[in-house]
Structure 1
Amino acid sequence: MDFSLIIDNINKHISLNSEEQDYFTSLLEVQQVKRRAFLVRKGEIARYTYFITKGCLRNYEIDREGTIHIGLFAVEDWWISDLQSFLTQTPSFGFVDAIEETEVMRLSKSNYESLFEKVPQFERFFRIIHQNAFIALKNRLIDNLSLTAEGRYLNFIDKYPQFNQRIPQKQIAAYLGITPEFLSMLRSRMARRS
């Protein structure tokens, strides 16, 4: 098994010796996820945090009217879970599923806790990962409150250029909080300007 992508991800924030790397990788399980398959469903407890080695996942909720609200897309070299459910081991309010055929390396909650005991540096690593997620969520909330739909879309394609061609327009619209038809109109208007 090739662990180079996940080790490179870890090495962005902490340094591990070979024994610590071996211990960490021994805790991981590889999982193949078919397109549209769920990793977490509403009401379930998120038992794992996932590192994506190939593919694309999304985290979302569905409101009472049946509208999907996408909170996060995640692709290769990203971590994803229903973080609140995973950390508190309480039922999830939303879903995590695959937009594409995906491969993940998953770390169970019990192994996550064991990792902190045996390799305390991982507390720093996951603190940084969780802080970055909180900051991204806060910035997204500010954007949703202060920018127009066009501004949100421009921000999205600026921050995540790899998503624009990879993720279906309907999914991007749900992430931005607009209809697919309005997103199509925005794209057409922007194409005419350039």
Structure 2
Amino acid sequence: MLNAFKEYIRSRVTITDQEWDRIAAICTIKKLRKKQYLLQEGEVWKHYAFIIQGCLRTYTVDEKGDEHIISFAAENWWAGDRESLLTGNNSIFNIDAIEDSIILLIKKADFEAVCKEIPAIAEMVKDIAEKNSIAAQKRIHAVISYTAQEQYLNFITQYPGFASRVPQHMIAAYLGISAETLSRVRKQTANTQPPTH
């Protein structure tokens, strides 16, 4: 199961077999059934999590019981609550499995030690953090600037595999629109090009 993680790392940076053995030694595997939590609101997030198989969502639930999905993550993506990880504060998020999933977990202290020992891993983490920051900026821009139709087109362009894997009501919760609006938008966008903003 670690082979997927090894391939992921080696597709981004060059590491020796010895360095890989060091990384592999700190990895643990967690299997999640569909709807099982990786993290629940109020817990402190203490790991780096890499998705080997499956799909997760990160979300909050408001006082009315409505879900607000912050992000989805599938194979070869990272998941978790970075704020809780870095501050030690309780998470405001829930993370659960949309489908049966296999997650690779590395404890925060172990991961930080490896980053100090293996500069290539530290460089990879920096690169991922920069890309995540850009993605978050684009998401904010889409939410405040795009119409519902543009948001949906942007979603299926950025995450082409998710539209078929993720239930429609979850996509609606991610886009911040009702399921009815999403249904209407999907019909309208059957032959429409994505936005070029």
TM-score range for the pair, normalised by the shorter chain length: over 0.9
Q: State whether residues 82 and 95 of structure 1, in contact with CA within 8 Å, keep that contact through their aligned partners in structure 2.
A: no
- Cα separation, 2, equivalents of 1:29 and 1:138: 32
Q: CA deviation at 1:95?
A: 1.1
Q: State whether residues 38 and 95 of structure 1, in contact with CA within 8 Å, keep that contact through their aligned partners in structure 2.
A: yes
Q: 1:193 to 1:130 in 2, by over 3 A?
A: closer
Q: 1:18 to 1:190 in 2, by over 3 A?
A: same
- Cα separation, 2, equivalents of 1:193 and 1:120: 45
> Comparing 65-74 with 49-58, which one deviates more in the overlay?
65-74
| 1:45-60 map, 5 Å | 45-60=44-59
Q: How many residues of Structure 1 are paired with residues of Structure 2 in the alignment?
A: 193
Q: Which amino acid in 2 is paired with 1:20?
A: E
Alignment correspondent of 2:120:
121
Q: 1:119 to 1:66 in 2, by over 3 A?
A: same
Indicate the SS of the match to 1:100: strand
Indicate the SS of the match to 2:71: strand
Q: 1:193 to 1:20 in 2, by over 3 A?
A: closer
Q: TM-score, normalised by structure 1?
A: 0.93
Q: Which amino acid in 1 is paired with 2:63?
A: R
Pairing 1:106–2:70 present = no
Give per-residue Cα distances to partners, 1:42-90, cap 9 Å, x unaligned: 1110011211111100111122332211111011111111111112222
Q: State whether residues 55 and 97 of structure 2, in contact with CA within 8 Å, keep that contact through their aligned partners in structure 1.
A: yes
Give per-residue Cα distances to partners, 1:19-44, cap 9 Å, x unaligned: 00010011100110011111111111
Alignment correspondent of 2:14:
15
Q: Which amino acid in 1 is paired with 2:46?
A: R
Q: State whether residues 149 and 189 of structure 2, in contact with CA within 8 Å, keep that contact through their aligned partners in structure 1.
A: no
- Cα separation, 2, equivalents of 1:144 and 1:187: 17
Q: CA deviation at 1:192?
A: 7.7
Alignment correspondent of 1:38:
37
4+ residue runs over 3 A deviation: 191-194
Task: Specify every segment of 5 or more residues in structure 2 that has no aligned partner in the other structure, as ranges.
Answer: none
- Cα separation, 1, equivalents of 2:156 and 2:43: 32
Indicate the SS of the match to 1:150: helix
Identical pairs, percent: 33
| 1:38-187 map, 5 Å | 38-187=37-186
Give per-residue Cα distances to partners, 1:153-191, cap 9 Å, x unaligned: 000011111011110000000000001111111112334
Q: TM-score, normalised by structure 2?
A: 0.92
Q: Which amino acid in 1 is paired with 2:182?
A: L
Q: Which amino acid in 1 is paired with 2:12?
A: H
**Root mean square deviation, CA, Å:** 1.6
Q: State whether residues 36 and 100 of structure 1, in contact with CA within 8 Å, keep that contact through their aligned partners in structure 2.
A: yes
- Cα separation, 2, equivalents of 1:16 and 1:28: 16
